[in-house]
Amino acid sequence: MSFSRLEDRRLVTGAGRYVSDWHLPGQLYAAFLRADRAHARIVSMDVSQAQAMPEVHAVLTAEDTQRAGFRSLPCAAPIPGKGGAELIKPYRPVLAAEVVRFVGECVACVVAQTEEAAQNAVEAIVIEYDDLPVVIGAEAAIAPGAAQLHPNIPGNLAIEFETGDAQAVAAAFAKSAHIVRLDLHNQRVAGNPMEPKGCLVRHDAGTGDYFVHVCTQGTAGMRGQLVATTGIADEHVHVVAEDVGGGFGLRFNAYPEYSAVMLAARITGRPVRWVASRSEVFLSDEHARGVSSRGELALDAQGQFLAFRFDFLNDMGAYIAPTGPVVAVLSIRACLAGVYKVPAAVANVRLALTNSVPMAAYRGAGRPVISYMIERLVDQAAVELAIDPADLRRRNLIPAHAMPWPTANGLAYDSGDFPAVLEHALEVADWTGFEQRRTQSAAHGRLRGIGLASFVEATGGGAGPDEVEARFGGHGEITLFAVSHSHGQSHETAYAEILSAVLGLPRERFRLRNGDPAVRLAGNATGGSRTLHGVGSALRVLADDVIAKGRELAARALEVAAADIVFADGRYHIAGTDRSVTLDSLIEQHSGGAVHPLDTRSSARTGGTFPNGCHVAEVEIDPTTGVVEIVRFSAVDDAGTILNHTIVAGQMHGGITQGAGQVLGEHAICDRQSGQLLTGSFMDYPMPRAIMIHGLTLAEHPVPTPTNVLGAKGVGEAGVTGSLPALMNAILAALRTAGVTHFDMPATPARIWGAIEAARAGDARRFAYDRAQ
Amino acid sequence: MYEFSYVKPASLDEAAQLLANHDDAKPLSGGMTLIPTLKQRLAQPSHLIDIAALTELRGIEVTAGQLIIGAATRHIEVATSMTVRTALPALAALASTIGDPQVRNRGTLGGSVANNDPNADYPAAVLALGATVHTQRRAIAADDFFQGVFTTAIEEGELITRIAFPLPTRAAYAKFPHPASGFAMTGVFVAETGGRVRVAVTGAGPGVFRWREAEAALADRFAAESIEALVVDPSGLNADIHAPAEYRANLMKVLASRALRAILNSSEGAVA
Amino acid sequence: MSKVALTVNGKPVEVEVEHRTLLSTVLREALGLTGTHIGCDTSQCGACTVHLDGRVVKSCTVLAVQVQGQSVKTIEGLAPSFDASGARLHPVQQAFSECHALQCGFCTPGMIMAVTGLLQDHPQPDDQQIIHGLEGNLCRCTGYVNIIKAVKQAAQMMQA
The Cα A443–Cα A432 span in angstroms is 19
Domain finish residue from C47, C77, C107? C77
Q: In what order do the strands lie in the sheet with A126-131?
A: A99-100, A40-46, A126-131
DSSP string, A146-162: PPPSSTTSGGGEEEEEE
**Most C CBs within 10 Å, among A1, A2, A9, A11, to test the C interface:** A11
Within 13 Å of residue C88, how many CA atoms lie on the same side as its CB?
Answer: 7
Same domain, C70 and C97: no
pLDDT band at B268 (very low <50, low <70, confident <90, very high): very low
DSSP string, A218-229: BHHHHHHHHHHH
The Cα A497–Cα A642 span in angstroms is 12
Query: CB under 8 Å, gap of 24 or more: what pairs does B79-87 form?
Result: B79/B104, B84/B60, B87/B62, B87/B167
Same domain, C61 and C104: no
Residue A352 is predicted with a pLDDT of 98
Same domain, C7 and C65: yes
Query: CB under 8 Å, gap of 24 or more: what pairs does A474-478 form?
Result: A474/A511, A474/A591, A475/A588, A475/A591, A475/A592, A476/A509, A476/A587, A476/A588, A476/A591, A477/A509, A477/A511, A478/A505, A478/A509, A478/A510, A478/A511, A478/A587
User: What is the rounded average pLDDT of the residues B165-185?
Assistant: 96
Residue A516 is predicted with a pLDDT of 84
Q: Which chain B residues touch C54 with a CB distance below 8 Å? A: none
Residues 6+ apart with CB under 8 A from C2: B6, C16, C17, C19, C65
Same domain, C12 and C53: yes
- The helix (H) or strand (E) run that includes residue A529 is none
Same domain, C6 and C67: yes
Among candidates B244, B216, A283, which has minimal Cα distance to B256?
B216
Indicate which CATH number applies to the domain containing C109.
Answer: 1.10.150.120
Same domain, C46 and C111: no
Residue C80 is predicted with a pLDDT of 72
Domain finish residue from C77, C99, C118? C77
Among candidates A680, A692, A683, which has minimal Cα distance to A654?
A692
**Hey, what's the torsion of the CAs at B111, B116, B117, B123, to 10 degrees?**
90
Check the CA dihedral B107-B113-B117-B119 and report its sign: positive
Residue A486 is predicted with a pLDDT of 87
Q: Which chain A residues touch C138 with a CB distance below 8 Å? A: 194, 682, 687, 689
Q: Are A532 and A707 in contact (CB under 8 A)?
A: no
The Cα A239–Cα A257 span in angstroms is 15
C36 within domain boundaries = yes
Q: Are A94 and A73 in contact (CB under 8 A)?
A: yes
Distance from CA of A117 to the nearest CA of C (A): 13
Superfamily of domain A8-132+197-275: Aldehyde oxidase/xanthine dehydrogenase, a/b hammerhead (3.90.1170.50)
C48 within domain boundaries = yes
Q: Is the pLDDT of residue B158 over 90?
A: yes
Flag if B101 and C118 touch (Cβ within 8 Å): yes
Check CB contact of C116 with chain B, cutoff 8 Å: no
- The helix (H) or strand (E) run that includes residue A179 is strand A178-186
C18 within domain boundaries = yes
Indicate which CATH number applies to the domain containing C51.
Answer: 3.10.20.30
Residue A1 is predicted with a pLDDT of 56
**Hey, what's the torsion of the CAs at A33, A34, A40, A42, to 10 degrees?**
20
The Cα B266–Cα A375 span in angstroms is 46
Q: Is the pLDDT of residue C87 over 70?
A: no
Give percent of chain C above pLDDT 90. Answer: 92
Q: Are A713 and A609 in contact (CB under 8 A)?
A: yes
- Fill in the DSSP letter of residue B229: T
Query: How many residue pairs from chains A and C have C-beta atoms closer than 8 A?
Result: 186
Residue A79 Cα distances to A224, A329, A464, B136, angstroms: 20, 8, 16, 73
Residues 6+ apart with CB under 8 A from C1: C16, C17, C18, C19
DSSP string, A637-680: EE-BS-S-HHHHHHHHHHHHHHHHHHHHT---PBPTTT--BS--
Flag if B242 and A684 touch (Cβ within 8 Å): yes
C103 within domain boundaries = yes
Instruction: Give buried/exposed letters for A484-495 (b at 16+ CB in 10 A, else e).
Output: bbbbbbbbbbbb
Domain finish residue from C27, C43, C77? C77
pLDDT tens profile B160-173: 999 999 999 999 99
Give me the residues paired with residue A33 across strands.
Answer: A108
Flag if B6 and C41 touch (Cβ within 8 Å): no
User: What is the rounded average pLDDT of the residues B59-85?
Assistant: 97
Q: Which chain A residues touch C105 with a CB distance below 8 Å? A: 7-8, 11-12, 16, 243, 245, 488
Within 13 Å of residue A528, how many CA atoms lie on the same side as its CB?
Answer: 25
Q: Which of A16, A21, A689 is closest, CB to CB, to C138? A: A689
pLDDT band at B269 (very low <50, low <70, confident <90, very high): very low
Check CB contact of A489 with chain C, cutoff 8 Å: yes
The Cα A236–Cα A223 span in angstroms is 10
Flag if A243 and C127 touch (Cβ within 8 Å): no
**Most B CBs within 10 Å, among C56, C60, C129, to test the B interface:** C56
Same domain, C67 and C123: no
Q: What averages of pLDDT result for each successive group of 10 residues across chain A (773 residues)?
A: 90 96 97 98 98 97 98 95 96 97 98 97 98 98 97 97 97 98 97 98 97 93 96 96 95 97 98 98 98 98 97 98 95 95 97 98 95 98 97 98 95 96 98 97 97 94 88 89 89 93 95 87 87 90 94 94 94 93 94 90 91 98 97 97 94 97 97 96 95 92 94 93 98 97 96 95 60 40
Where are the domains positioned within chain A? 8-132+197-275, 287-459+608-761, 466-604
β-strand pairing of C49-52 with C55-58: antiparallel
Q: How would CATH label the architecture of A466-604?
A: 2-Layer Sandwich (3.30)
Check CB contact of B181 with chain C, cutoff 8 Å: yes
Please, where are the H alpha helices in A414-527? 418-428, 434-443, 491-503
DSSP string, A669-698: PBPTTT--BS--STTTS----S-SBSSEEE
Distance from CA of A90 to the nearest CA of C (A): 32
Flag if B250 and A664 touch (Cβ within 8 Å): no
ipTM entry: 0.97
C27 within domain boundaries = yes
Q: Are A237 and A222 in contact (CB under 8 A)?
A: no
The Cα A402–Cα A414 span in angstroms is 10
Task: Domain A287-459+608-761: give its CATH code.
Answer: 3.30.365.10
Which residue of C lies nearest to B3 if distances are taken between CA atoms?
C20
Residues 6+ apart with CB under 8 A from A144: none
The Cα A21–Cα A17 span in angstroms is 6
Same domain, C63 and C127: no
Residue A525 is predicted with a pLDDT of 87
* Residue ranges of A 661-690 with Cβ closer than 8 A to chain B: 664-665, 669, 678-679, 682-687
Same domain, C150 and C101: yes
Residue A771 is predicted with a pLDDT of 45
SS3 A437: helix
- Fill in the DSSP letter of residue A615: E
Flag if B35 and C133 touch (Cβ within 8 Å): no
Flag if B241 and A625 touch (Cβ within 8 Å): no
β-strand pairing of B5-7 with B47-50: parallel
Distance from CA of C97 to the nearest CA of B (A): 24
Residue B266 is predicted with a pLDDT of 75
The Cα B186–Cα B248 span in angstroms is 7
Check CB contact of B195 with chain C, cutoff 8 Å: no
Chain-centre distance for alpha carbon B160: 13
Residue C81 is predicted with a pLDDT of 60
- Fill in the DSSP letter of residue C124: S
Among candidates A340, A342, A347, which has minimal Cα distance to A314?
A347
Check CB contact of A105 with chain C, cutoff 8 Å: no
Among candidates A229, A697, A66, which has minimal Cα distance to A429?
A697
The Cα A172–Cα A756 span in angstroms is 37
Same domain, C7 and C58: yes
| Domains in chain B with CATH codes | 5-50 (3.30.43.10), 55-166 (3.30.465.10), 170-265 (3.30.390.50)
The Cα A483–Cα A190 span in angstroms is 26
Q: In what order do the strands lie in the sheet with A56-60?
A: A56-60, A106-112, A28-34, A272-275, A198-204, A209-214, A237-240
Same domain, C16 and C71: yes
Flag if A488 and C134 touch (Cβ within 8 Å): no
Q: Are A590 and A553 in contact (CB under 8 A)?
A: yes
Q: Which of C42, C44, C61 is closest, CB to CB, to B31? A: C61
Q: Are A316 and A69 in contact (CB under 8 A)?
A: no
- Fill in the DSSP letter of residue C28: I
Distance from CA of B216 to the nearest CA of A (A): 23
The Cα A661–Cα A488 span in angstroms is 19
Residue A762 is predicted with a pLDDT of 83
State the CB neighbour count (10 A cutoff) for residue A741: 12
SS3 A612: strand
Flag if A753 and B247 touch (Cβ within 8 Å): yes
Instruction: Give the length of chain B.
Output: 272
Task: Give the structural domain span for C23.
Answer: 2-77
Same domain, C8 and C69: yes
How big is the CA angle at B91 (ends B86 and B92), to the nearest 5 degrees? 60
C85 within domain boundaries = no
β-strand pairing of A56-60 with A612-622: unpaired
Q: How high does pLDDT run on average in chain B?
A: 95
Q: Are A103 and A35 in contact (CB under 8 A)?
A: yes
Among candidates A612, A614, A658, A659, which has minimal Cα distance to A639?
A612
Total count of domains within chain C: 2
Q: Which chain B residues touch C18 with a CB distance below 8 Å? A: 3
Identity of the amino acid at A521: L
Same fold? A8-132+197-275, A287-459+608-761: no
